[in-house]
Amino acid sequence: MKPIRVAIIQALLRGSKEARSAHIRELVRQAAVQKADLVTLPEVWNGPYQQDLFPTFAEPRFGPSWQFLSSLAAEYGIWLSGGSIAEQEDGRVYNTAYVFDRTGREAARHRKMHLFDIQITGGQHFMESETLTAGNAVTVFETEFCNMGLCICYDARFPELFRLMVDRGAKLVLVPAAFNLTTGPAHWELLFRQRAVDNQVFCVATSPARDPEASYHAWGHSIVTDPWGRVVTQLAAEEALRVVELDLELADRIRAELPLLAHRRSDVYRLECNSSALVP
């Protein structure tokens, strides 16, 4: 199993969809110059993270943002985790993440399964279910490096979903995410270290940069954690691009030395998934 060079793009995103796309293109170009194999983008990069506006800039499946991401992957010969975009289908709006292979082929699609409906006293109020529809798929896909899982932001708070991805062979999980200034400092690093150590996987969580001019202030701090629960790298709040090389064999070594996945008591408990929720 060969190492993989992963580029995290924590982009500061402003202006029109066209302006955002142009900025993303330049950052992807810079990542490709640094010989990244896999480039990761943040959650909802093609419009403001504002729930009442999601329907306004949502696109149909295979729309302009899909075409843009596919062409970027093919142009630079990279795997591209295209963050997530607002997607519209049959009158419903989804928060949808895509991954494209080196030829620009769609390798994975995940619709955010758990919607962020919260009311924190003295903190955040957000009701994604007012405008978004939840997905229902456990998403794992194959690469020349390893099987990878894909989920979006609030999905990562549900350990069952991570374990189902691992049961399908995932050794690295991609998470476009946008925690806020209440949940970020409290849980961001803790959460991704915990998901990594519980499941003996790499986690790559990519946030937008914090924009004080926006209505939603992202925590930033895009992070990579390894299967031992260590922080491989973590950014600050500002825009940044960072490339890290990951030794994916570490997951196999740790699973052999500390075989917690093999030690599960399937005679006592079991985690199951509806067959309709399994996608390539």
Assess contact for 14 and 20: CB atoms under 8 A: yes
Contact at 8 Å (CB) between 11 and 222?
no
Contact 227, 255 (CB under 8 A): yes
Annotated catalytic residue: which of 59, 87, 112, 171? 112
Residue 203 appears among annotated catalytic residues: no
Whether 43 sits among the annotated catalytic residues: the reply is: yes
Instruction: Answer for the pair 171, 148: CB distance below 8 angstroms, yes or no.
Output: yes
Residues 31/243, Cβ–Cβ less than 8 Å:
yes
Q: Read off φ and ψ for residue 161, nearest 5 degrees.
A: -65, -45
> In angstroms, rounded to a whole number, what is the distance separating the alpha carbons of residues 223 and 236?
10
Nearest to 218 by CA among 185, 175, 190: 185
Q: Which of 146, 151, 153, 203 is catalytic?
A: 153
- Catalytic residue status for 17: no
Asked whether the CA dihedral 24, 112, 109, 186 is positive or negative, the reply is: positive
From the candidates 43, 59, 87, 128, give the one annotated as an active-site residue: 43
Count of C-beta atoms within a 10 Å radius of residue 186: 14
Cα–Cα distance between 184 and 234 in angstroms, integer? Answer: 13
Active-site annotation, residues: 43, 112, 153
